Structure 1
Amino acid sequence: MEEDWQRDLEHWLEPYLQKLGNKTRRRMCPAYIAGLIGPGDRKSIQPMAARADALSYDRLHHFIGAGIWDSAPLEATLWRQADELVGGDKAWLIIDDTALPKKGKASVGVAPQYATVLGKNANCQTLVSVTLASGEVPVMLGLRLYLPESWTSDTARMERAGVPEDFRAYRTKPDIAVEEIDRVIAAGVRFGCILADAGYGLSAPFRQALSARGLRWAVGIPRHQKVYPADVQLIFPVAGRGRPRVRHVPDVKSRAAHAMLEEVKWRKVSWRRGTKGRLTARFAAMRVRIADGAPQRIGAAGAQHMPGEEAWLVGEHRSNGERKYYLSNLPADTAIKDVAGAIKARWICEQAHQQLKEELGLDHFEGRSWTGLHRHLLMTMMAYAFLQTRRLAQAGRKKKSLRTSASTEHARHPTSHH
């Protein structure tokens, strides 16, 4: 069975290996990925080399850390395969981040920062992740390191870690996410809607950048995000004294998302079938205008954000008592079940992060350089895509054999009535 998957892997990697040219690199790439997939608790270079007789540590280390080769053609191949596997109008493009806890200060991008996985501040590297998913099948397309300001303000430190010139300016995580989305679109990857949690959804520039590109999105927001009713009107206020007003102002005040939904009816919505039956929660939804337009002084209220684009405001009341809030620019005639389905589809990328860490050593890399880290990340994503391809092929074979046995049964007893 083991030789079976390794033979499959060699065949599956062929389009990647063509892009690597050099014979040694063409040998190291499958060896590295087989090391990530194969047995063993630790998936850093030394133990992987120790487990494979034919591999020298030096060659494997050189391939990932110092070898001169371009990862872009391999990435392009990964994206093409991911699109063939799960791309399409019904696919989701999910933006998230994941933390790799680290000791010391020398590894590129490592700093005390909030780690979502741990739910607290920790010394770690943070990766912005891009996942293409259809139904319950995710394929990871991108993992890009976020550099905190403690790094981008220290040129010598970035030089030591080999951070390329193009990546040395400080970028927020939403900035990185938009750059990655642009690259995915330019590569022709197909998806219907972008999903992100409140870490990205709270950023007005992020939401506006997606809308400006004509993209559909559904994102988490903090409960205090301000919104206006959808029918808000812009009026010229009458000045009691002094010069007449020259700018429009809204005829009502903006309100926090949670307060706005208090008056709306909450109802039970089921969005899909899970392993233990239908998945349901209580939802409330209404059309609003987001308070993320230009700031303007409005009477005694001081500077307020003007009404921006119209969107769905959604509240979710979970069975554990937790309430979550979301915004989405899905069309006004979208059924609430479908809006809820989009919001809830995001969890699949967390499962992908977990599998990449637990099964494929995503967080085991011990090198310190930008190039080494990103090549390791690419290899783990390729390993994951290979496993997803195999899982789908096996599921397809199972379905086919079930259909075949059913039709055989029917051929045997064509007149039986059920």
Structure 2
Amino acid sequence: MSPGTGPLRADALAKRVPLVFERRSCGAGTKGERRYDWALAEVTWPGGAEDGPRRGFVHLLLVRRSISDPSKIAYFAVHAPTGTPITEIIRVMGLRWATEDCFETAKSDCGLDHYEVRTWDAWHRHVTLSMAALAFLTVTATRTDAAGELLPPAPTDQDKNPETPEKGEPIGPLAN
């Protein structure tokens, strides 16, 4: 809903409310910057938010329109602090692709989707194990070279400090 319009679907609302589109990037993609036309409209939505958004927050409808095909339009419900700039809202929306990619990898490589839910505890354990496996695989992949050989760990601040005792050398009261 938009003030003064009554309940409407997002696409109908976008047609009735005058939207001002701005061309912006929502982040870098595999083929460069992902540029779209974006517009915001202040709205309220039914459900648990009949009294409106929480104090200091606003409900918005974010509309994304393709530059190459203006008939391709996507809608996002936004609950953001009042005064959040459109650039920040668009940046956060751009994170969606990375999240979806992460879940796709977890499903294909770590079996995230190979469990039939029977109890909450068992499901929680399975998801936790799948995501821990994904984290391990991601870290391992970033620490290997093109030939698949494990790279040495990056030097730490302690390794760079010449006053740091050598490995195996006692520190503290035992150093005397």
Fold shared by both chains (TM-score > 0.5): yes
Shift of 1:389: 2.7
Distance 1:282 1:361, change over 3 A: same
1:327 maps to 2:77: yes
8 Å CA contact retained: 1:293, 1:306 = yes
Query: 1: CA distance between counterparts of 2:79 and 2:113?
Result: 35
Residues 1:343 and 2:85 aligned together: no
| Aligned match of 1:312 | 60
Counterpart contact for 1:268–1:283, Cα < 8 Å: yes
SS in 1 for 2:103: helix
Query: Please, which runs of 5 or more residues in structure 2 have no aligned partner?
Result: 146-150, 155-176
Structure 1, residues 299-355: CA drift from partner, whole Å, max 9, x if none? xxxxxx966223222111135532221222223332222211212312223222221
Question: How far apart, in 1, do the equivalents of 2:28 and 2:117 lie?
Answer: 44
Mapped to 2, the partners of 1:270 and 1:378 lie a distance apart of 33
1:293 and 1:376, CA in 2 relative to 1: closer, same or farther beyond 3 A?
closer
Provide the residue aligned with 2:14 in structure 1: 261
Map 1:22-33; keep pairs closer than 5 Å: none
What amino acid is aligned across from residue 228 of structure 1 in structure 2? Answer: S
Q: Percent identity?
A: 25
What SS does structure 2 have at the residue aligned with 1:314? strand
Structure 2: distance between partners of 1:368 and 1:293: 27
Q: Which digits, 9 at most, give the CA deviation of each residue in 1:136-195, with x for residues without a partner?
A: xxxxxxxxxxxxxxxxxxxxxxxxxxxxxxxxxxxxxxxxxxxxxxxxxxxxxxxxxxxx
Cα drift, residue 267 of structure 1: 2.6
Q: How far did 1:258 drift? A: 3.0
- When normalised by structure 1's length, the TM-score is 0.28
CA distance, structure 2, for counterparts of residue 286 and residue 390 of structure 1: 44
Cα distance between partner residues in 2 of 1:391 and 1:349 = 18
Match of residue 354, structure 1, among 92, 101, 104: 104
CA positional deviation for 1:380: 1.8
**TM-align CA RMSD:** 3.4
Structure-1 separation of matches of 2:105 and 2:72: 26
Contact 2:59 2:79 in 1 (8 A): yes
Correspondence list, 1:16-415, <5 A: 227-229=1-3, 252-256=4-8, 257-262=10-15, 263-288=18-43, 290-292=44-46, 308-309=52-53, 310-318=58-66, 319=68, 321-364=71-114, 370=119, 374-393=124-143
Give me the TM-score of the superposition, normalised by structure 2: 0.60
Letter in 2 for 1:311: H
Aligned residues: 138
Judging by fraction of residues, say which structure has more helix: 1
CA distance in 1, matches of 2:51, 2:126: 45
Q: Larger relative contact order (C-alpha < 8 A, sep ≥ 6)?
A: 1
Q: CA 1:334 to 1:306, structure 2 compared with 1: closer, same or farther past 3 Å?
A: closer
Q: For residue 82 of structure 2, what is the amino acid of its counterpart?
A: A
The Cα of 1:384 is off from its aligned counterpart by: 0.9
Kept in 2, the 8 Å contact 1:284–1:314? The answer is yes
How far, CA to CA, are the matches of 2:109 and 2:29 in structure 1? 24
Question: Compared with structure 1, are the counterparts of its residues 258 and 307 closer, same or farther at alpha carbon in structure 2 (3 Å cutoff)?
Answer: farther
Displacement of 1:270 in angstroms is 0.8
The 8 Å contact of residues 37 and 65 in structure 2, kept in 1 or not, is answered as yes
Q: CA deviation at 1:259?
A: 3.6
Secondary structure of 1:228's aligned partner: coil
Measured in 2, the distance between the counterparts of 1:313 and 1:363 equals: 31
Give 1:326's aligned amino acid. Answer: F
